[in-house]
Structure 1
Amino acid sequence: MISREEENVYAQTVAQNEKLDSGAVDHRGDEIFRPTNTGGWTSSSFIIGAEVAERFAYYGIASNLITYINGPLGKTTATAAADVNVWSATASMLPLLGGLVADKWLGRYRTIVAASIVYLVGLSTLTLSEVVPHYLYPKCAVNSTEFTACNPTTSAQSVQICFFFFAIYTVAVAQGLHKPCSQAFAADQFDKNDSKEQKSKSSLFNWWYCAMCVGTMAAQVIVNYVQENISWGLGFGITSIALLIAFIIFLLGTDTYRYYPVISNTSFGKTVDILTVEPGGNVADNSMSVETSEDSFLKESYEKKSPLKAKIPKLFPIWATCLVYAVIFSQTTTLFTKQGSTMDGRIGVNFKIPAAALQIFISFTIVLVIPIYDRVFVPFARKFSGIQSGITPLQRIGIGQFLSIITMAVSALIEMKRLQTAKSFGLIDLPDITIPMSLWWLVPQYMIFGISDVFTIIGMQEFFYDQAPNGMRSFGVALYLSILGTGSLISSILIITIDMVSSKNGESWFSNNLNRAHIDYFYWLLAVLGVLELLLFLCFATCYHYKKGSNYEQQIHNEFKIALLGSGKN
């Protein structure tokens, strides 16, 4: 007979050597048993650290790109804004491809490594595209008195522009591979079947975005200043060094990561089906509502036959009703910057703040608000909702959309004030003269949008990661990124179309002379579109049923039962 004491020792031994239910393996490909030194906050910290440096590199380019295209490359305001929007759209749409590459072939770790190498090629080429012409045509320096006598040939300018666009689109490809994998890989470090790690994963999305904003904020302060006051070439070179640092930090955590084997197949269609089926052969959890057994049987039968069709289309209405928000998002690095370039950014006598540096207030606000949200708001809301994250991702997205509408209204009012100031001082036809209106007037619109980001962006990250089929987490993150990309593309189309139409009827809304432009009209248009979008979003969000088994689904299920019991008593 085995004594009770021996039974307890045996039970403790089994618990201590419990295999992770998630199916993760270590860097050698071995199964992981508890206790383990892999995963958790230790592993995710390496990925977060790499993300900070990567965002520093990316936004060192993206945040001031319109100034470079409109300035050194000599493009018009409308063309520069369109170029930036198309590039940003490409960089945000390519993660759809990158997510599939990771989920089907390479896995997230290898995809991040490949993306980092491509990143380094793109950033190095970008640096050379700016530095080399200065050595070939040294008299063309800004302070040169012989500028008109040293213009390079048209063909040489074309070569430089070709290299420039090749470089930034190489960076876009790298972003497309890197972005959907890094966040999903960080979330992979937490076991979904462990209650403590599941709670940590919920906090990860908040702290992930907070860390991203630290990198973004540093780029907007350091790189933008270097670009506009010292050298564009040096500014681009700094981003290359930052990306190399990000790559090294990521590789340092290799031995601590948890990895999920890729389920591959020669047929793409078959792979999609496999990716939506659990390793044990069961169909992955689906978004289901409280329904009859007959309805459930019919629905499960359909999902087993066509799992991808049963899952992805459910996300599309939410995806589509976030696009106007993404259009508003794209203005922060384009028209907001051009708006500020005409205003007085001086601090003291000699120091002048670059207009693009004001984007730091978005990041600063996010870094300030996220700890309050995570440590104060979430525990408070959790008491009422019973949900680990306090409120559902869709509720979070809706609040952020409302704040984005407020952002556009405030931006329009401040732009009206700027135009009135230019008129009052007789500067309407003097676009090169700084308007005597402080750049700090723009801070409110940046900070309100920063709060909006805390709700909408993080809400979208969590929603699309959590609701995507279990084997397509990278693709789920890519879906959220594709919203931003599509929004940038829509913004570009809107700007080009409005520019063409308004030019025929007088002064363009996006005239090179911003004192005669009407960016305020565009802001009001986006505010109206935002209201319409929010109404549609609320309709679709109310009807949406979360994936079965998630905390959100369980909470809604309980509320539904309470409602039924309440109606039965009446």
Structure 2
Amino acid sequence: MAKTTLSKLVPFNIEAPEMPDSMTKKGGFITLFFIAGTLSGVMLSGFGWLANLIVYLVQEFNVESINATQIANVVHGCINLLPILGAIIADSFLGSFHVAAISSFLSLLGMILLILTARLSSLKPPPCEIGSSFCRAPSKLQYVVLYLSITTASAGLGGSRYTLATLGANQLDKPKDKDTFFNWFFFAVNASGIISSTAIVYVEDSISWALGYTICLAANFIALAVFLAGQRFSRCDKPKGSPFTGLLRVVVAAVRKRKVVLSSRNEDYYHEHCETSKVFEPSSDENRRRHRSDGLIARPWKLCSLEQVENLRTVIRLVPIWSSGIFLITPVAIQSSIAVTQALSMDRHLGSNFKIPAASIIVVILVSSSFFVALFDRFVFPTWQKLTGRPLTLLQRIGIGHVIIVLSMAISAMVESKRLKTIHDNKLEALPGAIAPMQVWWLFPQLVVIGIGDALHFPGQTALYYHEFPASLRSIATALVSLVVGIAFYVSTALVDLIRRLTGWLPGNINSGRLDNLYWILVTAGTLNFMYFLVCAKLYKCRNIEKEVDANSSFDI
């Protein structure tokens, strides 16, 4: 269907909206202290229980390791899908401030329930001895309380994270200040994740689960108090309606006007220019036919602008590249969860008295990713441009990230093969929970390589969507990466479940399984997905709609 069919429009004069008082008299850098405090507290609390969830399910609720991995994948998926829902609710109904406040409160309730499951013996089954085959499963009531606490805490963490990013950016006026804020936003998220995955996880593993969760509760409570204290300084944006409405109107208009005779005159179509708030108006006859007496649009769901049509076409053109990201992150999602179960069956002692918590192994990815993001930005990319005379494009960065992630899966397969050989040589495969005489350091190389891949493809995808998406969809564009991660966790859960049903590679006791075969499947799937990405990247032509980049800048799509 020709795009002009979709864009028969109603001409009307657009007046620039007045800036509300709340957006002019408040805001500024003073509000960022409150937002940073809130973000740090919420992330410390959220990562504090999320990073150690698999261990908690295995050790305290007698859940089999693979089942615990599947539950953790579902939880990660929910947390990464919720930012999209939070953005829609904030834009359409409540505003960013209220969504962030409600989410922080839900996170607080979830932590209270988790503390109860850890402290009250009636809310969890009796402990299971290592190597024993007689482990009592949780009762229905215990499962209900556990899942309710996880669901509530997940809703709070997922709903607040990117909403706080939007709220923080809204406090600033200059684009450069907003860019600086986003840099520090992601730094705060990573720093909170590192602290939670080490200090809080250590308290949970070595001292008490209840004490660790109480620390998370205290951090969450302080975060909510700081956030509410900053309300008097903050710009509380008013709901403006869902950005998806304009896209949906194009689809509805296309169906309803599929038989409309096209006009060859450009002036017969409405060209909306939001930057200048001007329109091109057709003849007075057209005005009389398409205006009501009060000057408003007669049928907004039957009429749309050329710009709305082009916005929808841009979104559709990006879908193939976006979809390749799902199968790029799926192996990472599987690896992040299974690495914890692998660490549980390996020697984690550092010296004679200290034992590395299994969940803390994931912090290697965070540290690696943070280090290589800085290294690429300050050294590798500028050096590449000096040597070649042109910058490394965003699509090239994403493609290299694909290759590195596939490489990490190959390393994972070889390390797991060695771990299983050690298990079989010591005849430990029949003992659930048996520890292989193999240091946990063997897992570090694959996790470091994953961090390198993340440092390339995550920023690359975010920048690509931000610069290519229409200006009206920028907030959704930055959340698309989170949506990819959420879907990837669900895909990883389905893939692992499918392999469990079709093969005997993933039993409850991974020491008697063939986890290395799963990694080789991921290598094959990742290679095919990389080929798919190359085709999509070759066919995709960047719009370069972002005009704010300086002409002399080295930025390139």
Q: TM-score, normalised by structure 1?
A: 0.76
Distance 1:349 1:490 in 2: 41
Specify the alignment match of 1:229 in structure 2.
206
Could you tell me which residue of structure 2 aligns to residue 478 of structure 1? 479
Task: Classify the secondary structure of the residue corresponding to 2:506.
Answer: coil
Structure 2 counterparts to residues 105-504 of structure 1, below 5 A: 105-133=93-121, 157-191=139-173, 194=174, 197-198=175-176, 201-202=178-179, 204-251=181-228, 253-254=230-231, 257=234, 260-264=237-241, 269=245, 278=274, 281=277, 303-304=306-307, 306=309, 309-377=312-380, 379-380=382-383, 391-502=392-503
After superposition, the Cα gap between the structure-2 partners of 1:282 and 1:355, relative to the gap in structure 1 and judged at 3 Å, is farther
Structure 2: how far apart are the matches of 1:45 and 1:374? 26
In 1: Cα distance, 2:236 partner to 2:396 partner: 32
Residue 171 (structure 1) shift: 2.1
Equivalent residue for 2:537, pick from 524, 528, 541: 541
Note closer, same or farther for the CA distance 1:118–1:245 as it changes in structure 2 (3 Å cut): same
Q: Measure, in 2, the Cα distance between the counterparts of 1:245 and 1:24.
A: 36
Deviations 1:201-243 (Å, cap 9, x if unpaired)?
Answer: 4455444333211111111112222222222222222222222
Deviates more, 1:301-310 or 1:527-536: 301-310
Superposition deviation, residue 324 in structure 1 = 1.7
Give the whole-Å Cα distance in 2 for the aligned partners of 1:71 and 1:120.
24
Assess if the C-alpha contact under 8 Å between 2:328 and 2:526 holds in 1.
yes
Q: CA deviation at 1:536?
A: 1.9
Change (3 A) 1:429 1:533: same
Deviation at 1:341, TM superposition (A): 0.8
How far apart are the structure 2 equivalents of 1:186 and 1:239? 23
- Does the Cα contact within 8 Å between 1:401 and 1:534 map onto a contact in 2? yes
Looking at structure 2, the residues matched to 210 and 559 of structure 1 have their Cα atoms a distance apart, in angstroms, of: 24
**1:279: Cα distance to partner?**
7.3
Specify the code of the residue in structure 1 equivalent to 2:147: F
Aligned-partner Cα distance in 2 for 1:536–1:268: 28
- Residue 238 of structure 1 aligns to which amino acid in structure 2? I
How far the C-alpha of 1:453 sits from its partner, in A, is 1.8
Evaluate the alpha carbon distance shift between residue 315 and residue 58 of structure 1 in structure 2; reply closer, same or farther with a 3 A threshold: farther
* Partner Cα separation in structure 1 for residue 553 and residue 532 of structure 2: 21
Give the letter aligned to residue 501 of structure 1.
L
Cα distance in structure 2, aligned partners of 1:271 and 1:539: 27
Secondary structure of 1:29 counterpart: helix
Alignment of structure 1 residues 510-549 onto 2, 5 Å: 510-542=506-538, 543-549=540-546
Distance 2:171 2:383 in 1: 27
SS at match of 2:513: coil
1:305-328 residue CA offsets vs partner (Å, 9 max, x unmatched): 546523432331122000122212
Local SS of the residue matching 2:437: strand
- In structure 2, the CA distance between the partners of 1:558 and 1:120, relative to structure 1 (3 Å rule), is closer
Distance in 2 (CA, whole Å) between partners of 1:102 and 1:393 is 30
In structure 2, relative to structure 1, the CA distance for the partners of 1:50 and 1:23 (3 Å cut) is farther
Q: C-alpha deviations, 1:134-177, integer Å up to 9, x for none?
A: 6x89x95789xxxx9xx99x9x8322220110111122222332
> What RMSD, in angstroms, separates the aligned Cα atoms of the two structures?
3.8
Alpha-carbon separation, structure 2, partners of 1:272 and 1:46: 37
Compared CA separation, residues 273 and 377, structure 1 to 2 (3 A): farther
- Of 483-492 and 394-403, more deviation after overlay is shown by 394-403
Quote the offset at 1:86 in angstroms.
1.6
| TM-score, length of structure 2 as denominator length | 0.78
Structure 1: runs of 5 or more not aligned: 1-21, 284-300, 503-507, 561-570
2:537 is matched by which residue type in structure 1? A
Q: Say whether the 8 Å CA contact 1:85–1:491 is kept in structure 2.
A: yes
Over residues 416-436 of structure 1, what are the superposed CA-to-partner deviations in whole Å (9 max), with x where a residue is unaligned? Answer: 111111122222323433211
In the aligned structure 1, how far is the partner of 2:387 from the partner of 2:547? 17
Pair 368,557 (structure 1): closer, same or farther in 2 beyond 3 Å: closer
The count of corresponding residues between Structure 1 and Structure 2 is 493
Residues 326-350 of structure 1, C-alpha deviations (whole Å, 9 max, x = no match): 2122124410101111110112223
Q: Residues 227 and 233 of structure 1 are in contact (CA less than 8 Å); yes or no, is this contact kept in structure 2? A: yes
Match of 1:54 among 42, 58, 61: 42
| Change in CA separation of 1:24 and 1:44 when aligned onto 2, cut-off 3 Å | farther
1:104 alignment partner in structure 2: 92
Structure 1 position 249, deviation (Å): 4.0
| Contact 2:67 2:508 survives alignment (8 Å) | no
Q: In 1, Cα distance between the equivalents of 2:543 and 2:553?
A: 8
**Unaligned ranges ≥5, structure 2:** 1-15, 251-271, 280-303
Moved more, 485-494 or 122-131: 122-131
C-alpha distance in structure 2 between counterparts of 1:362 and 1:558, whole Å: 27
